[in-house]
Amino acid sequence: MNQSTDPHRDAYTGETVAMRRLSSHHRPGTLWRRIRLGMTLALAAILLGAGMLYWQVHRLAAAITVPEVRANPPLSTPLVGANLLLIGVDARADHPEEGVRSDTLILVRLDAIGRWVSLLSIPRDSQVDLPDVGVTKINVAYGQGYARAEELYGKGTSPAQGGMALAAETVERLLNLHRRAMRVDYTAQVNFDGFAGVIDALGGITVDVPVPIVDEEYPTPDFGTMRVEFAAGPQRMDGARALIYARTRHADSDFGRAERQQQVLRAILHEFQARNWLGRVTAVPALLGSVAGADGAMPPILTTMPIDRIDVLLGLMGLAGGLDPDAIGQLRITPDVVGLTEDGSNLIWNPDDIQSLLDTFMTPPNEASEKATVQVFNATGKSGLARTVSLELEGAGFRILVPDNAPVGDYPRTTVYDLAGKPATSRRLAKTLKADLVHGAAPGLLSQADIVVILGVDAGR
């Protein structure tokens, strides 16, 4: 038998070197080695990204986390349910003689496994009985804790820790949380610079202003006033502009201001969720820079929540990434839902009504638990349209009150107004009617319903 004289051909098999190389690429062992290598590299990239994220969060936690100073501190986790008291602090470093006080109090219910969040705004003029002070407004509690931190909570307690602790204890008493075997589990305080800084670190937020706002007496840092104005409709806001929007109140009331503050919080979450995961990770350094105190100054944001603890971090990440901002329960203590007695400028709330509101606050938002009522108002000029739409909505399973005509005004688009914090029902209602959704009061309307629908020009076509 003649042997090939080709130096690249195997003398026994007749395969060329190139043929062997080609066939080796298709051998099962080689293929699985490549798959394993790809999976290893992908896992390494995930672990590296997770490590970088945790490192950034750990740096953030080191800058803004302070120990809890209350006796018998609560032990809860956002994974299965925790209450966070968000305190907006009015403190001016260049005017220490003005003292400090809580400008905003919002109790936040966090439940990562259930994937829901509820907000409950507490008016700053709510009347409470503070130990060693007596009857006063609830926003005094933070200032008292701030001024008497070591006296109340022991040596080494910082003013901010004392302020947050006494504010938490006072909110617990006002809401009678102990009756439910509940506590304010964590606190977080944010001053004006921190609020604006977070928004700027995200590149701004988009806010849909429901009605025009004109405030002729908005307070300035030098204790003067200025005129501010917001047109109705969606608009982009930087931190300074969003702060003005959240603080203005002379155009309506503190109750309207609470509504705007909750709207801004939803807009912040929406802005964060609009980024992909890489964008969220890369946003952390900017957020860190916005909340870390400069030159030894107190950071504009402080919290007792250990955000770098694994269970807390997983819970917060789950909520930040998977929670629909429009599904957040938005509740406010207002005369519309809680009986009110006034003593001068102090607001005395009916305790039984407070507990009814807390029932809603503690329940995951869904239509069955909300039991929301809906009233339809006709702004089209087309006779009988509100009644027709009401019957259709009743057939779709909504609880309908007697329809009526809307006040005279300009209503180009049909709009659903969630007056009482009923997100599940209001979302389905807006989807059913292909309408805009506003979390807050309908302008110029008085209604006993939880949700109001104003049929705009588009509905009459």
Residue 432: what are its φ and ψ, rounded to 5°?
Answer: -60, -40
pTM, two decimals, is 0.77
**Distance between CA atoms of residues 129 and 43, nearest Å:** 56
How many CA atoms lie within 13 Å of 434's alpha carbon, on the beta-carbon side?
2
The total of other beta-carbon atoms located within 10 Å of residue 256's CB is: 20
pLDDT at 331: 87
CATH class of 367-460: alpha beta
pLDDT at 48: 66
Q: Domain 67-361 falls in which CATH fold?
A: Aminopeptidase (3.40.630)
pLDDT at 437: 87
pLDDT at 172: 96
Element (H, E) at 160: helix 159-175
pLDDT at 270: 86
pLDDT at 123: 93
Question: What is the secondary structure of 267-313 as a DSSP string?
Answer: HHHHHHHTS-HHHHHHHHHHHHHHHSPSTTPPPSEEESS-TTSHHHH
CB 455 within 8 A of CB 420: no
**Distance between CA atoms of residues 187 and 86, nearest Å:** 6
Where are the chain's structural domains? 1-64, 67-361, 367-460
pLDDT at 25: 52
Per-residue pLDDT of the chain (461 residues; tens, 9 = 90+): 455 455 555 555 555 555 555 555 555 567 777 777 777 777 776 666 666 666 677 777 887 889 999 988 887 888 888 999 999 887 665 555 456 777 889 999 999 888 889 999 999 999 999 988 999 999 999 999 999 999 999 999 999 999 999 999 999 999 999 999 899 999 999 888 788 888 988 889 999 888 888 998 888 877 788 999 999 888 999 999 999 999 888 777 778 888 888 889 888 888 887 877 667 667 767 777 777 666 556 678 899 999 888 888 888 888 877 777 777 888 889 888 899 999 999 999 999 999 999 988 988 878 888 889 999 999 998 889 999 999 999 999 999 999 999 988 888 889 999 888 888 899 899 999 999 888 777 878 888 899 999 999 888 77
